[in-house]
Amino acid sequence: MAVPHIDSYYAATAHPAPERPALDADLDVDVCVVGGGIAGCSTALHLAERGFRVVVLEGRRVGWGASGRSGGQAIVGFSCPQSTLVQAVGRDDARRMFDVSVEAQDLIRALVAKHRIECDLHWGHLHTALKPRQVVELLAHQRELEEHYGYRGLRWLDGDEVRHILRTDRYVGALRDDRSGHLHPLNYTLGIAAAAEAAGARICEGTEVVGLDHGATVRVRTQAGPSVRARHVALCCNAYIDARISKTLRDRIMPVGTYIVATEALGPARIEALVRENVAVSDVNFVLDYFRRSDDHRLLFGGRVSYSGRDARNTAQATRVRMLKVFPQLADAKIEYAWGGYVDISMSRAPDFGRLEPNVYYLQGFSGHGIALTGIAGRLVADTIAGQSERFDLFTKLRHRNFPGGPAFRTPALMLAMLWFRLKDLL
């Protein structure tokens, strides 16, 4: 039996989904996808629609990782500044990458409509500033996207306009983007998985992959014994990549713990008094707060990260304290769900896509921007396997470094670096 989803608001409100049996016999396919999150399920869907024989091997349950636990915010762009991409590949290719991130939002809209995925999709996002220097940064970001990337639809909101939408005095301004939005991430992932199966893909849960034997035909070995022989393999493991699959990929990402709480159902009047419009919100701090409404009138609030690999003693209380800094009027509101999980970050915070071998592809390093980018990344891999590699190859131009210090020392080193960023947020 596959490991169940963690106890979260998303798991409690997930649509019924079948418990898919584990791989129980050797299998020959065109493509083996490792990982049953959004990236893996999107890869499988877009390949199956092209007629490829596809199997997805998921070690736990579909959407068990970040795809089913995250803040659910689908935001245009990347976790790194556009300047990082410009420095790495030049302005023209950086523009093409940004266009892919915009297309990622269109793909969400198209998949939800085509496959009738009920995932509480809403459009609208506020990127909020807490202090004057952040206002300057956001306005510069707006000008950059409009002048160099042709991105329209951003609108600056001053403090009064923000307070008209959010009942808080914490923010002095915000950049509004109505092409970004939010959704129920687990139901979205389950919907893509169901669509992939309807198109002909097979999904095996509770099937842990422990290694690859490379070659013209790749042998994908599993913990239980059965293996898959495939002409192509797509590794979509992200934060949960096993060093037995690829130590190279494992060393280039850092699993970072993120934590979210969900209040009790507040009722439509109270939640709409706090967040008047159904938009997602995130601030511009490096260690940021983010929140949104749920469709059953709760506030979902995330605002802590852990680079140590260990959860704090009281995640719910610590995150609640951050929530009350934004909405002190929720002091009497009960926290009904508190959960956490890992997202994968790269050193540069830019996505890390590429090939281990000519027929073994990987997607990782979404760095907190995975809700939208994972879906479009899966389509890029499918395009590449089908013979159209131009856009996938665009991202392979990005060079990524290992986290320093190796497994024993990279976490302490990163924690020291994070102390600096936390101090910078306070300035």
- Please tell me the predicted confidence (pLDDT) of residue 71: 94
Whole-number Å distance between alpha carbons of 420 and 348:
16
Q: How many CB atoms lie within 10 A of CB 188?
A: 28
- Please tell me the predicted confidence (pLDDT) of residue 305: 66
Identify the three-state secondary structure at position 17. coil
pLDDT digits (tens, 9 = 90+) for 223-268: 999 999 999 999 999 989 999 999 999 999 988 888 999 999 999 9
- SS3 annotation, 120-168: CCEEEEEEEECCHHHHHHHHHHHHHHHHHHCCCCEEEEEHHHHHHHECC
pLDDT digits (tens, 9 = 90+) for 291-343: 999 999 999 999 866 654 455 456 778 899 999 999 999 999 999 999 988 88
- Please tell me the predicted confidence (pLDDT) of residue 312: 47
- Please tell me the predicted confidence (pLDDT) of residue 114: 98
The segments of the chain whose pLDDT lies below 50 read 308-309, 312, 409-410, 413, 415-426
The CATH label, of 3.20.10.10, 3.50.50.60, 3.40.50.300, 3.40.50.12160, for the domain at 9-410 is: 3.50.50.60
- Please tell me the predicted confidence (pLDDT) of residue 288: 87
Whole-number Å distance between alpha carbons of 220 and 242:
13
pTM score over 0.85: yes
* Residue 156 dihedral angles phi and psi, to the nearest 5°: -80, 135
